[in-house]
Amino acid sequence: MRLCTFAWLIASLASLNSFGQAGVSTTASYAASKDSTPVTVYSAASGATAPELIPFASAPQPIARCKGKVDGTVSLFFVVDTDGVPRNLMFDRPLGSELDRFALQIAGADRFKPGTLHGVPVVVAEGDEIRLQACSVNSKDSSGQKTQLLQLRALPDQQLSVAQVTYSSTVLTTPATPQELENGSAKIYQPGAEITPPKLLFFPDPDWPVDAPGNLKSGTCFFSLIVDSQGMPHHLELTPPPCNGLDRNAAEAIHRYRFKPAMKNGEPVPAQIAVDVTFRIYH
């Protein structure tokens, strides 16, 4: 067990594509590398020594008072590279809330003494269960619009564990930013023969709209979206046919979807998929 020692701040609950944290950028946690050479992945369960978490140098104090508590535990899977950097983060057990993004950022900023095999640094799989105690606070974004921010009211409790690997090698990836995913500068894959499609881990039912027409008893909305290499949904687009005004509630449900990302020979990759959301009233 280890207490993470960063003061974290995550951005708007209302925006899926704009987020950050105090003191650490969302991409600085990863070494910038375009090397696509596969590396062997080891496990502490099969002879490698486990990576050792390096404590941060300082521990800023979280906020002391809170009116809107937001708590939860997120379980992640990742590999620690030979420089001690967590890579290829993905969900094991997500919550379907903004705490999931929080957990990805916290784990991504950790640094380790690398795991070894016969005294040589190797890439080792790790599990991380992160217990978060946060507070929802009122704020304003750069345009002056009201928004809700999450800020820690207690330091995260991280429980590291030995992870079993289901693949023998992977490519260490740098996750694309939401902007790169949407503006076309990141490569987006299509599930197929060499690309295992994303797998749903969390998919809440949509809420029936309170203003839906009284004679409407069911409906289906069709969306196109991108699932990033960490299993988060991005760039939702409603596709024909229309779904009788149910699209807003359907989109809100999809925003909470969490996935195991698409895989290409053990490498997590962003992928374009189609999703349909069906509404029904049962009597």
Q: Which tokens sit at 88?
A: 């290829």
User: Vertex 254, ends 143 and 150: CA angle to 5°?
Assistant: 45
* Ranges of the chain whose pLDDT falls below 50: 1-33
User: CA 31, CA 107: separation in Å to the nearest integer?
Assistant: 14
What is the pLDDT, as a whole number, of residue 59?
Answer: 58
The DSSP symbol for 189 reads B
What is the pLDDT, as a whole number, of residue 61?
Answer: 67
Parts of the chain belonging to CATH 3.30.2420.10: 178-280
User: CA 123, CA 42: separation in Å to the nearest integer?
Assistant: 6
User: CA 16, CA 14: separation in Å to the nearest integer?
Assistant: 7
What is the pLDDT, as a whole number, of residue 17?
Answer: 26
Q: Which residues of 36-67 are buried (b: 16+ CB within 10 A; e: fewer)?
A: eeebebbbbeeebbbbebeeeeeeeebeeebe
Residue 130: beta bridge partners?
A: 74, 158
User: CA 247, CA 239: separation in Å to the nearest integer?
Assistant: 10
The DSSP symbol for 98 reads T
User: Vertex 195, ends 194 and 197: CA angle to 5°?
Assistant: 145
User: CA 271, CA 206: separation in Å to the nearest integer?
Assistant: 23
Q: What top-level class would CATH report for the domain 178-280?
A: alpha beta
The whole-model pTM stands at 0.82
User: CA 238, CA 221: separation in Å to the nearest integer?
Assistant: 7
Whole-angstrom CA distances from 212 to 209, 215, 249, 262 are 5, 8, 11, 35
| Contact partners, residue 139, CB within 8 Å, separation at least 6 | 146, 147, 148, 149
Residue 248: in which H helix or E strand, if any?
helix 247-255
